[in-house]
Amino acid sequence: MSFAPTKEKKHPHLVEVEIPRGRLIADAYASDDYLLNQLAGVNDTPEEEELPLRKWLLKQAHDTAIKQPKLEKVGPFKPKADKSSKMEFLFILTE
C-alpha cells in the first residue's frame, strides 16, 4: 500500500504578506510607509489595543521577529476586535 503525498491545504482566510526583515525589525517600523502599504488592502478599523489594525499587525510581527530572530515566518495573527472575522495574517520575512 502506498500513500500519495497530500497537497497542503491553504487556509482560505489567511493573508500572507511578504516584508523585508530589516525594515520590520527597525525602530521606525510603525511609521514605515512601505510596510504600511504592504497592508494597503486592510482596513484600519476596528482598532486593536487602541492601534489602527495595520499598525497593530506590524507591532505583533515586529515583536515576534525581535524575540525570535531566526523565524522566516511570523504569525498568523488574528485580530480579536471583530469576533465575526475569520481573517488571519502571516508575515513572510525576506532578506
In tens digits, the chain (95 residues) has pLDDT values of 445 555 555 678 899 999 999 999 999 999 999 999 999 888 888 889 999 999 999 999 999 999 999 999 999 999 988 888 888 999 999 98
pLDDT for residue 1? 46
Taken in order 29, 30, 36, 41, the sign of the CA dihedral is positive
pLDDT for residue 3? 55
Q: What is the pTM of this model?
A: 0.85
C-beta separation of 32 from 57 below 8 A: no
The domain spans of the chain are: 14-94
